[in-house]
Structure 1
Amino acid sequence: MAWLIALLLLVIGPIVELWFILQVADVIGGWQTIGLLLVEGILGSWLIKRQGRSVIRRIDERLRASDLPTTELADGLLILIAGVLMLTPGFLTDIVGFALLFPPTRAIARVALLRRFTARMGQGFAFVSGPMFGGGARRPRADVFDATVRDTPPARRDTTPLGPGDRR
């Protein structure tokens, strides 16, 4: 089912995007539409750079504090997705890209993304199924052993001096 939706988006998405660009060009003019797309691209790349540096700084701060930067890594992934959307020409993808760059709407997407990651913990993502790609039949899990570690003092060594023919 997910593959069908992805296929429909890949086929229908560019057609809808092109139709929307043509509608905007019909209203404001061709050159103005091209200029607007360029301005959106420049503004988007500046925002992606700014937000990306901010996320990298927050990841560094969390790592220096010996914390796992979960939300920061999710933000980084969402900014990466926003960058890909901003690079594709079109108004609809730019709107979604700008929404992912805006921190309040990115927080909503981050919650959904982290919920998805949490649901897939221990299973991984299988984008392509089949035995060649790691999908298909589930591999049995390895046995888990519960162990307790005890710190024992080292064995005492005999400190008596050795004679010329003595061996230990």
Structure 2
Amino acid sequence: MVRRGGRRAALVLFLAFVVMPILEIFVLIQVGQAIGPWWTILLLVLDSIIGAWLIKREGRRAWQALQARLQTGQMPARELADGVLVVLGGAFMLSPGFVTDILGILLILPITRPLFRGLLTSYAVNRITIRTGPGTRTSPGTPPQGDVVRGEVVDPE
């Protein structure tokens, strides 16, 4: 019996290693036929240069925001999510092709990042939820239900 999480992982791997390369090749061929091979190569190089500059700029901003939040003693949830999105966007920018570059730029841009931050936050909350029994789900910090035996741990020395 395959677990639900195993199916999800298999689907993600299939999309990443089969569908995405086919899609990237298709888009590269279409762009190459529309504007020519040399312009396509130039566009890919220009895309990489702009992406590297954007990653550096937004990564620095995310790092400074994280440090400022930590200095005030507050939980840097938003800043951590932004950092993760910039790093993930940078990883997409390293992959050759227009589709992953567009996705990477969307993850990095401060205008579109809040949308992805919301998706990342909801994903993280769903992953943190702990299954405590058949059909029940609770979050960490929720007091246990049912019989609770209070005690003390004694370390034998």
Equivalenced residues, count: 128
Deviation at 1:48?
A: 0.4
TM superposition outliers: structure 1 runs of 4+ over 4 Å: 143-147
After superposing the two structures, state which structure 1 stretch, 14-23 or 4-13, moved more: 4-13
Identity over the aligned pairs, expressed in percent?
A: 40
Q: Please, which runs of 5 or more residues in structure 1 have no aligned partner?
A: 124-142, 148-168
Bigger share in helix: 2
Bigger share in strand: 2
Separation in structure 1 between the aligned mates of residue 112 and residue 28 of structure 2, nearest angstrom: 24
Question: Normalising by the residue count of structure 1, what TM-score does the alignment of the two structures yield?
Answer: 0.71
Q: Does 1:38 find its partner at 2:45?
A: yes
Q: Please, which runs of 5 or more residues in structure 2 have no aligned partner?
A: 1-6, 131-147, 153-157
Match runs of 1:1-168 below 5 Å: 1-9=7-15, 10-121=17-128, 123=130
Question: Normalising by the residue count of structure 2, what TM-score does the alignment of the two structures yield?
Answer: 0.75
> What RMSD, in angstroms, separates the aligned Cα atoms of the two structures?
2.0
Counterpart amino acid of residue 20 in structure 1: V
Question: Secondary structure of 1:104's partner?
Answer: coil
Deviation at 1:105?
A: 1.6
Deviation at 1:122?
A: 5.7
